[in-house]
Structure formats: C-alpha cells, structure tokens
Amino acid sequence: MNLNINSLILIILPLNPYWSINPIPLNLLILVWIKERIAAIMKMKHKKKYRFTISLFFALLLTSCNPFSIQLLYQGETSVKTHARALDYQDSLLYIGSQKGNVTTFDYVNLCEVDNVPISGAEDLRGLVIGPQKSIICINSGKEGNVYLQNDSAFQTVFKQSDLFLDGICINDQGIGFAFGDPIDSKFSILKTVDSGVTWHWMDTNCLPNALVNEAAYAASNCSMQLIDSTIYIGTGGGAVTRVLKSTDMGESWQYLNTPMVAGASYGIYALSFWNAQEGVITGGSYLDSSYCDSMTFITNDGGQSWTNISKGLPGYMSSIQSSKDGKLIVATGRMGTYYSLNQGEKWKLLTKRAYYTVKFSDSYVFLSGKNGRIGIYSF
C-alpha cells in the first residue's frame, strides 16, 4: 500500500474546524505523534491488518483533534460589590460599570483590581464603552438619562436629561456613537456624538424610529444596540411583536424587522450580536419567566429578513450574547448560566452555571460581570 503521510496530513489540516483556535505547538505535537504511529505501522509486514487503525487515526484527526479549550482564570467580585451590567475592555484592562455609579478598573492579565471611581449622582451605569481616544463613556439608566465622559481620572456629565431612561450606548473607531433609550411620545430616544463622546445631541425627531404600544428596550447588559460600519441594529421587547430596528445610514432612516421571538410584557430581545452587517444573533426571553426556552434565541444570515431558531440547548432567559469577529464562537449568558457554541448555535455547551448579566470577549479572553459585582475571566 502506497501512503504519503505528509501529503495526507497537509490535505486534512484545513478540514479541521478547530485548527485556527488552538495553540500551534499543541497542533504540531499531535500531528507528529500521529505521523510516528502511522509510520511505525507501515513498516510492519502485515500492513493490511492495520488499515482500520490507520483510518481511525485520520478519523480522530478530523473529528476530535484539537478540541476547543477554555479555562477559568479568575472568579471573584469587585470591591464595591454592586450589580455590574456595563462591561468593556482595552489593552490589559477591564472596565466595569455598576449600580450607584461605580466604575471599576480590573487588570485581567495580573488578575487584580487597580482602581474604582465613583460618579456622583449616578444611579445605575448599565452601558459603558471605550472611545477611540481611550476615554471611558458611560450612561446612567434611571430617572435621568445622563452620559458621562472620563477626563483624566474624573468623570464629567456631558449630557443630562430628566425623565429619560437610557438602554444602551455604542461608538466606532471614528468617534461616531449613539445612545438610545425608551420611547418618548411613541418614538425611541436616540442621541448622537461625532466627537468621541465629548458632545451629544438629539437625533432629528423625523429620524427617530416609531414604537409600538408598550414597546421599549431592555438595559440588561448594553447589548441591545450595535453599530457596524454605517448599520445600526436595535432589539426591542414588550410589544405585541418582538422587532429589530435597523438603519443602514447612521440613523437617518429605519427599517422595522419582525422576529419570531416570543413577545409580550417582559419578553423580547435582551441582547444581539452581529459579526457583519448581514449575519448575527438575537437572544432574550423573559427575566420574569427565566425557564422559558422555546423561542428566545435566533440567527440570521440576511440582515434580519429571516431568522432560524437556535434556542435548543439553552435553559432559558439570556441577558447578553457576544460573537467572535467571524461568528465561529458565540457566548450567551444570564441567570441560567453561561453557554458557548462553535457552530453558530447548532449545539450549545455549558461554560459555567454561575449567573452573570453581561459577556464580552477578546481574541483570547471571555469576560463576565454580574450580580453583586461578580467577575469571571476565562482564557481560550
């Protein structure tokens, strides 16, 4: 039997779906071991007897070589121990916004808290982003719709509006950002900045998306709005239909996309994550009916025109979801635990049963924040 082992390995390598995720040294060690075993078999006199063994080696390479590996690095709480729903990172630092207006800085490389800055008068920081100038911008969700910007170590109020409940905030690398809140006079409230959060202004009333009766958004994890290039996605809930609001021109006009997600009071989209303007996921359910799990997570590949149910495998209500830049890794979290998928929701695996509110991740880390200042950090 003529078998070129090197050629076969080179052919099979690209077929392994986990090859790009795992460390190269581990991949090479496994391949070297397999190659040596096959070479030893080929030197034997009765090679035909070992054809099954050779086939098994390559089957293992295709199906179970280099399984996705994720490890817990840290599990603890912030020093202030207040509910933490706002989460972002930059360089080696994790920034956590929480109730009573606290912004905690945590070094996720050295695994230690390095700073905690209170914002006077803030009720609950439910949205936080890092601007292109490395400044921290966060929103207050409560009786006042305030936006705060950090200059040096202190925060200043750069926008203030009473009777406005803000649900989320996002910003791009060019310093263009949006903050949005619950409807006023049947229109969703949207603010815009073009100078990295230094100043904010209301979007023109004619540009604001219309709201259904009882429709609003959920400020559960700062994941109900996303900006991708010039496209904005907003997930809603509470109304007769659960919808995605979509703008492809930076909020100047809006499309209203109905989804098959469960609708009604306390139900709807609590989080969404798109890895490009066409492909993304939505999740939610109900924080009052946490065990409901039939129609609470969906995926689209056509910009929200159609949706596929990927709820199977999730135990219920999820308040946050994040995807990798290519959509190959998706992580969802909530009070029912944290789950991840390597095949866009076809199968979900349990990461931890510990309850969290929010998930973010970088190329190598998964960050989680939650009740009483909980922090979870995983490496992969």
Q: Are strands 255-258 and 267-274 parallel, antiparallel or unpaired?
A: unpaired
In 3-state terms, the chain is what percent helix, strand and coil (to 5)?
A: 15, 40, 45
Domain count, the chain: 2
Task: Tell me the residue ranges of DSSP E strands in 262-306.
Answer: 267-274, 280-286, 297-300
| Cα–Cα nearest to 269, from 310, 241, 246 | 241
Tens of pLDDT, residues 89-116: 999 999 999 999 999 999 999 999 999 9
Tens of pLDDT, residues 75-96: 999 999 999 999 999 999 999 9
- Residue 264 token pair: 């009604």
- Other beta carbons less than 10 A from residue 54's beta carbon: 19
The average pLDDT across 169-177 equals: 97
Cα atoms found within 13 Å of the Cα of residue 12, Cβ hemisphere only: 20
Whole-number pLDDT of residue 49:
56
Confidence of residue 61 (pLDDT cuts 50, 70, 90): low
Whole-angstrom distance, CA of residue 233 vs CA of residue 252: 13
Tens of pLDDT, residues 205-250: 999 999 999 999 999 999 999 999 999 999 999 999 999 999 999 9
Shared domain check, 103 and 150: yes
> What average pLDDT does the structure give for the chain?
89
Shared domain check, 113 and 167: yes
Whole-number pLDDT of residue 4:
54
Integer CA distances (angstroms), 143 to 117, 124, 180, in order: 21, 10, 15
Provide the domain limits for residue 223.
Answer: 71-379
Shared domain check, 367 and 254: yes
Confidence of residue 22 (pLDDT cuts 50, 70, 90): very low
Phi-psi region of 75 (alpha: psi -120 to 50; beta: other; left: phi over 0): beta
What share of the chain in percent tops pLDDT 70?
82
Shared domain check, 37 and 118: no
Shared domain check, 105 and 18: no
The average pLDDT across 31-54 equals: 59
Check pLDDT > 70 for residue 129. Answer: yes
Shared domain check, 164 and 15: no
Residue 26 per-residue DSSP state: H
Check pLDDT > 50 for residue 1. Answer: no
Whole-angstrom distance, CA of residue 140 vs CA of residue 128: 9
Shared domain check, 103 and 12: no
Domain C-terminal end among 46, 63, 80: 63
Domain C-terminal end among 23, 41, 63: 63
Shared domain check, 93 and 10: no
What is the CATH number for 147? Answer: 2.130.10.10
- Other beta carbons less than 10 A from residue 327's beta carbon: 20
Domain C-terminal end among 63, 86, 107: 63
Tens of pLDDT, residues 343-366: 999 999 999 999 999 999 998 999
Whole-angstrom distance, CA of residue 209 vs CA of residue 190: 9
Cα dihedral 126, 154, 89, 146 in deg (nearest 10):
20
Tens of pLDDT, residues 162-171: 999 999 999 9
The average pLDDT across 59-80 equals: 77
Shared domain check, 211 and 148: yes
Shared domain check, 142 and 53: no
Q: Which amino acid is at 350?
A: L
Shared domain check, 355 and 210: yes
Whole-number pLDDT of residue 117:
95
What share of the chain in percent tops pLDDT 90?
80
Shared domain check, 334 and 229: yes
Confidence of residue 153 (pLDDT cuts 50, 70, 90): confident
- Residue 112 token pair: 């230690």
Looking at the DSSP bridge assignments, the partners of residue 180 are 168, 190
Confidence of residue 273 (pLDDT cuts 50, 70, 90): very high
The full length of the chain comes to: 380
- Residue 158 token pair: 């750069």
What's this model's pTM, rounded to 2 decimal places? 0.83
Residues 6+ apart with CB under 8 A from 231: 246, 247, 248, 277
| Cα–Cα nearest to 125, from 80, 184, 90 | 80
Whole-angstrom distance, CA of residue 360 vs CA of residue 368: 7
Check pLDDT > 70 for residue 125. Answer: yes
Classify 363 as helix, strand or coil.
coil
Check pLDDT > 70 for residue 64. Answer: no
Whole-number pLDDT of residue 59:
52
